[in-house]
Structure 1
């Protein structure tokens, strides 16, 4: 298996190289040269493996289709460590719940940081540790978070001597609990940087620094954001796991709260592999850039002034990094056209419109995408309705997914991907149902702990200076 950039026709690279590189030097994102294929017989066998041997065993069967440069015995050990039941609140790792309205919930937030990002970060941490030890090297992780990626990465990478982490977050845009999860960590290998601006500004800084070849090489900069394909690889697994727990073979639709497009593009890849997914239901909040594209074909990014602060803050994003991966497939894997759309044109703040192109008019339907958005009032109503009907408390991002799934009324089974435990958004939960959600024991008192964070202006130069200073210590 080799991996190619969405922006060039250069020869493919092995998995272990793109794991450490993260973002391609040409600014593109890596994807497999082709997607491995599965059939009904394979799925039946995988159902037996999941039910008898557990989630890690299923993950091994899927991940090894994408990774051929790590010995299988080592890969199995990596996955068993990543998905050890001891790390998760539920030994099933990804259990499912059937709601009274017919929807299913796939619970992805049982990991160390109480968000679905743990599903990928636990694997990424183990892969980094393994590969760096194999090469005798170290890496400097530069990431950006709108709320959950940062804490999931830091919980997965803390205490790993070959890894330093610099995590950017937008000042004042995360909930108090999200801030506490990150800023309370007292680890010399973890540096939190609060950037003046919004998440898109943080993400742009990460990309700008990655494009500085000399700086990147000098400090061995790598990525944990979903620009790193290993993140998507881990997320592909839970689409299969949820499908295997719900379906007897018939197609199932997935409703996916979507901000940076990494979660749902993992479903796109699973569908391209042959998993019987009927519809991929993209759910956004008021920042509806992605919903607008699938409705009109126009991709109009917003600046900081137009990016709204909402009650589902992890989706307050207007430039979705992983969207480029889908457009690459939509355009027949044409790297020149993809580079034209996502290169200087978007850096300058402009947009593009594919609404009248044959690809958009003919292929979006084939890829199964439908979309919708929701408001703060919609989220409150869904949280209240699900609680009253089923006694289940959902977080506001999951409520976005539930609302859009119910509004679109796609036929057949629909699985909503849960994104986080409700305690991370307690203020909104109290507003909706008047009840403070329970705090897992490991997080009690976290908001009272000392904070470790550096505030900087929203420039790449300011972040470079922090990295240079800390790396010199």
Structure 2
């Protein structure tokens, strides 16, 4: 299988070639030249598989240049109950992503898929742990090194650092918005003392961090000299690893392939829900994909109106679901490429317009950039918005009615999911994180602290190591070069 850029001006590459690189040289995102298909017979055969074996079956469709025995060893090394050990009471850790029914009303079933049992208590671990093992495997085969340069609004950073800490030949340079993560998220990252981990708190918002990652990735000479790679969701391997839990969720919620399910996904950067789109394109019977946003509602606005309007840093809200405090959805370009039937020239023009004008309009109204909005429904997308009062009320309601504590982002998902319930079609909300990561809001909603898994009791009191820097690309390049010696 070969991969092409959404902007059409980079040569086709193999899976291993794009694994370490992130953005394509033309600034686009990689996608397979065509999506592999999953037959009904395959889905039936996969119902009895362990999570590790399911991951192998899915990934071998994409990583065709990795020997199957090696790929299987990597998935079995990654997806074990020892790695995903932070299951809630009553959950079966061996299931890796256990599914439970939260409530059932008028023939509509609302389910919760646990994705936060990994080492950093967030869904990002589901892909990042595999990515760490893939990186180490590939670098060892090539006798190479990699300097990972990434940005986080909260969970990606800690998931990446825990996956890469101590890995041979890998350094991690992780940007985060200064003083805009929860205390728990900050402590998870900044308390790491591993010499290959560098935390940089950027004076700005997440989009400033993400813009610097893209700027460095687009400096091809610097990127090559410094051996820069990325773990953000612009990395194709990370997105495709997330496809696996959509398939697991579907198989767990149904008994035959004549049934459909809907997923609601808390979404800011469009990476998680993009994996659901890919699963649907592969043939998984997904009825709808519902994007749940917080106050930073760029995606909700597009799926309601066809207008994609990036917000400025000054217009980006700092909310109590901070991992979605994003106003420029970097993965959205992959969906737009599919929406435009693979017209790379138009994709390139539209995202150039994002840079110059702050967005584009596909509503079909006079003066707009196209009329593709009418095609969005074919891809099953819907959306909704949740704000602080909604998430506090939802956390309280779910606890009182079901005895389950959910985090703030998952609360956004549950709030929006309840607006789209359809009789006879299970609604699966993808859990974002364990509630301990956002204890300030849990205390506001429930009047008590969230429970913490063993080992995280006093994480905020640990010594922290980080550097504060301005949102300046040249200074960031100098910082990286000084620490790599390249």
Quick check: TM above 0.5? Answer: yes
Q: Which residue of 2 aligns with 1:370?
A: 382
**1:173-212 alignment, distance < 5 Å:** 173-212=180-219
Number of the residue aligned with 2:338: 329
Q: Residues of 2 paired with 1:407 and 1:381: CA distance?
A: 15
Matches of 2:410 and 2:122, distance apart in 1: 11
Paired position in structure 2 for 1:94: 97
User: Does 2:71 match 1:75?
Assistant: yes
Contact 2:291-2:382 at 8 Å conserved across structures: yes
DSSP-derived class of the 1:110 partner: coil
Aligned equivalents of 1:414, 1:365: Cα separation in 2: 18
1:40 positional shift: 1.5
Deviations 1:414-453 (A, max 9, x none): 0000000000000101111112111111212211111110
Match of 2:127 in 1: 120
The residue aligned with 1:310 is 319
Residue deviations 1:38-82, cap 9 Å, x none? 121111100022xxxx10011001100111111000000111111
Partner SS, residue 348 of structure 1: helix
1:322-471 map, 5 Å: 322-343=331-352, 345-348=353-356, 350-356=358-364, 360-411=372-423, 412-471=425-484
Which residue pairs with 2:167 in the alignment?
Answer: 160
Distance 2:13 2:422 in 1: 39
Is it true that 1:109 corresponds to 2:112 in the alignment?
A: no
Give the whole-Å Cα distance in 2 for the aligned partners of 1:410 and 1:162.
49
Cα distance in 2 between the residues matched to 1:365 and 1:79:
34
Larger helix share, 1 or 2: 1
Where structure 1 has 5 or more consecutive residues not aligned to the other structure, the ranges are: none
Normalised TM-score (structure 1): 0.97
Which string of whole-angstrom CA distances, capped at 9 and with x for unpartnered residues, describes residues 16-36 of structure 1?
000011110100000000111
Matching residue of 2:293: 284
Partner SS, residue 287 of structure 2: strand
Seen in structure 2, the aligned counterparts of structure 1 residues 170 and 361 have a Cα distance that, compared at 3 Å, is closer
Q: How far 1:468 sits from its partner (Å)?
A: 1.6
Residue 100 of structure 2 aligns to a residue whose secondary structure is strand
Judge conservation of contact 1:330–1:359 (CA < 8 Å) in 2: no
By how many angstroms is 1:214 displaced? 1.3
Q: What SS does the aligned partner of 1:27 have?
A: coil
CA distance in 1, matches of 2:78, 2:438: 26
Query: Which structure 1 residue ranges, 4+ long, deviate > 4 Å from structure 2?
Result: none
Q: State how far apart, in whole Å, the 2-side matches of 1:204 and 1:296 are.
A: 26
Q: Given that residues 301 and 349 in structure 1 are in contact (C-alpha distance below 8 angstroms), is that contact kept between their aligned partners in structure 2?
A: no
What SS does the corresponding residue of 1:259 show, helix, strand or coil?
coil
Distance 2:346 2:222 in 1: 28
Q: Deviations over 1:130-155 (max 9, x none)?
A: 00000000000000000000000000
In the TM superposition, residue 91 of structure 1 has moved relative to its aligned partner by 1.9
- SS of 1:85's partner is coil
Kindly indicate whether the alpha-carbon contact (under 8 Å) linking 1:106 and 1:242 is maintained by their aligned counterparts in 2. yes
Q: CA deviation at 1:364?
A: 0.5
User: What secondary structure does 1:104 align onto?
Assistant: strand
How far apart are the structure 2 equivalents of 1:16 and 1:45?
28
Shift of 1:413: 0.8
Any idea what SS the aligned residue of 1:255 has? Answer: strand
Map of 2:275 onto structure 1 = 266
What CA distance in whole angstroms lies between the structure 2 residues aligned with 1:150 and 1:20?
17
**Structure 1 residue 342: Cα displacement:** 1.0
Cα distance in 2 for partners of 1:350, 1:275 equals 34
Q: TM-score, normalised by structure 2?
A: 0.95
* Residue from 145, 149, 155 that aligns with 1:142: 149
Matched residue SS, 1:370: strand
Q: Is the 8 A contact 2:239 2:271 kept in 1?
A: yes
CA distance in 1, matches of 2:278, 2:111: 21
Matched with 2:17 is 17
Displacement, 1:358? Answer: 6.6
Question: Equivalents in 2 of 1:241, 1:198: separation in Å?
Answer: 34
| 1:98 Cα deviation from its structure 2 partner | 0.5
Note the C-alpha offset of 1:469: 1.6
Distance 2:221 2:98 in 1: 45
Following superposition, the deviation at residue 10 of structure 1 comes to 4.2
Distance 1:159 1:409 in 2: 45
Structure 2 SS opposite 1:165: strand
Task: Tell me the equivalent position of 1:60.
Answer: 56
Shift of residue 347, structure 1, vs aligned partner: 2.2
Helix, strand or coil at the partner of 2:12: coil
Secondary structure class of the residue paired with 1:168: strand
C-alpha RMSD of matched pairs (Å)? 1.2
